[in-house]
Amino acid sequence: MAKPEVSEAWRQHSTISRDEILARLKDRALVIVNVMPRETYEESHIPGSINLPVGEIEAKARQLISNSLQEIAIYCAGPA
Amino acid sequence: MGYINVRHYIGGMADWGAGGAQVERSSTSTEMFQARPSVGRNVARHLSWLEILANWPLERLICFWLGMIMAFGVVYWLAGISMGWGLQAGNTEVKPDLSGLATAIYFSFVTALSIGYGDVIPLGALRILAVIEGIAGLLIFGCVISKLVSRRQEELMEEIQRTTFDDRLDRVRTNLHLVFSDLGAVQQLQAERGVLPEQVLRRLESTVRVFRGELQTIHDLLYRSSVEPDEETLESLLANLVICLQSLAEKNGSRPSGDGQSAALDAALRSISNLAKEICGECVPRVYAPSLKESMDQIQELARRIA
């Protein structure tokens, strides 16, 4: 089944590339969020990213990032 | 959650590591997270101290402000005892006793609020301290005031957004119902004798146009809205949409090809079909409950029949 066009556009719009993250590691305007469990996060993560395990998003997201307009990049383990 | 500026790094850690970029091991960020799970702290690298202060909740800010004033008061008092240059009220030095402490705290408040009566004055190096307190007091007090104002404003904004949103959904629901009954009426009109095909066509055209508008709204809601409707509302909306589409699909199937084709009608139908095709459980950005997904898939299926 062919995916509708708008959906594809939406996908492109809402992803962030590796290069952009790399370039913006020190950018204060971008918050990088790691959604893996705490232990996995402790093992390795993108420098400067914060940990917000998926299960805790509901409870803690507002505390961590109070601004709804905040630019956020989320990532997890990636395709294994 | 209402965040509208979220992007996904699909590659994740696998991609990151494969590219040879630096990774961080169990770091202070985690400890900070556990020790102080409060606003802003963990995103410290993104914020200056003033922003951190501004991000504090109102209660804490006020407590901090009062605490600071008290602390300064005690310092003035202690400086008077131990170093000999303290505060002066009128022409007499403030005494190092309890009433002296009260005077010192009073002076501290007058300074922090930048009132500056001048009935108690600091001597020597205390003047520097008083100026520092004045600046800090102003800044923090400003944060408190802005917090008070913006809190009310945020409440209002939320309220407005919610009401307009609810209103819009209500309208969409009503209009969908209208479309449905209108489609039925058109069918009846067609069955009656003595009604001109053009009349039927015109009626159908207007109904289809209204339907197109409402469908656009639902489409936007699923794809773009920063406010999320609750599932019940969405379910009723989608159910309404399904029956309208069903009715329209039947109507379309039974339409004799001869009875006065209309370009406008065809265009509207095509546009409806295109919009509806983009509504399916898999292709909308958010993940919904299975029952909702099912309705969405049904909508997509019906869209194919209309085109």
Condensed to tens digits (0 to 9), the pLDDT of residues B184-207 reads: 888 888 888 777 778 888 888 888
Residue B40 pLDDT greater than 60, yes or no: no
* Count of CB pairs separated by less than 8 Å, A with B: 145
For chain A, helix (H) and strand (E) counts, in that order, are: 4, 3
Q: What is the DSSP string of B215-263?
A: HHHHHHHHHT-SSPPPHHHHHHHHHHHHHHHHHHHHHHHHS-TTS---H
pLDDT of residue B7: 83
pLDDT of residue B109: 94
Contact B26 A42 (CB under 8 A): yes
Contact B12 A75 (CB under 8 A): yes
Name which of B252, B248, B232 is nearest B295 in CA terms.
B232
The reported pTM is 0.47
Contact status of B37 with chain A (Cβ, < 8 Å) = yes
Contact B10 A41 (CB under 8 A): no
Contact B7 A77 (CB under 8 A): no
Contact status of B31 with chain A (Cβ, < 8 Å) = no
Condensed to tens digits (0 to 9), the pLDDT of residues B27-37 reads: 544 444 443 33
Listed by start position, the domains of chain B span: 58-151, 164-253+260-306
Partner-chain residue, chosen from B9, B22, B43, that has the shortest CB–CB distance to A73: B9
Contact A64 B2 (CB under 8 A): no
Crossing angle, helix B126-191 and helix B231-254, to 10 degrees?
30
Q: Residues A10, A58, B14, B9: what is their CA dihedral angle, to the nearest 10 degrees?
A: 30
* Cβ contacts of B138 within 8 Å, gap of 6 or more: B114
Please check whether residue B241 is in contact with residue B302, taking contact to mean a CB–CB distance below 8 angstroms.
no
Please check whether residue B68 is in contact with residue B140, taking contact to mean a CB–CB distance below 8 angstroms.
yes
Distance from C-alpha of B41 to C-alpha of A50, rounded to nearest angstrom: 11
Contact status of B286 with chain A (Cβ, < 8 Å) = no
State the fold for domain A5-75: Oxidized Rhodanese; domain 1 (3.40.250)
Please check whether residue B154 is in contact with residue B148, taking contact to mean a CB–CB distance below 8 angstroms.
no
The ipTM of this complex is 0.80
Residue with tokens 């993104």: B46
Contact A45 B33 (CB under 8 A): no
Amino acid making up residue B189: L
* Cβ contacts of B283 within 8 Å, gap of 6 or more: A3, A4, A7
Coil vs helix vs strand at B185? helix
Contact A74 B9 (CB under 8 A): yes
State the fold for domain B58-151: Helix Hairpins (1.10.287)
Listed by start position, the domains of chain A span: 5-75
Coil vs helix vs strand at A74? strand
Q: Which residues of A are less than 8 Å from B6 in CB distance?
A: 14, 72-74
Contact status of B193 with chain A (Cβ, < 8 Å) = no
Tokens of B270: 């095509």
Partner-chain residue, chosen from A31, A43, A58, that has the shortest CB–CB distance to B25: A43
* Cβ contacts of B179 within 8 Å, gap of 6 or more: B207, B210, B211, B214, B244
Condensed to tens digits (0 to 9), the pLDDT of residues A22-32 reads: 888 888 788 89
Quickly count: other Cβ atoms within 10 Å of residue B248's Cβ: 25
Residue B286 pLDDT greater than 80, yes or no: no
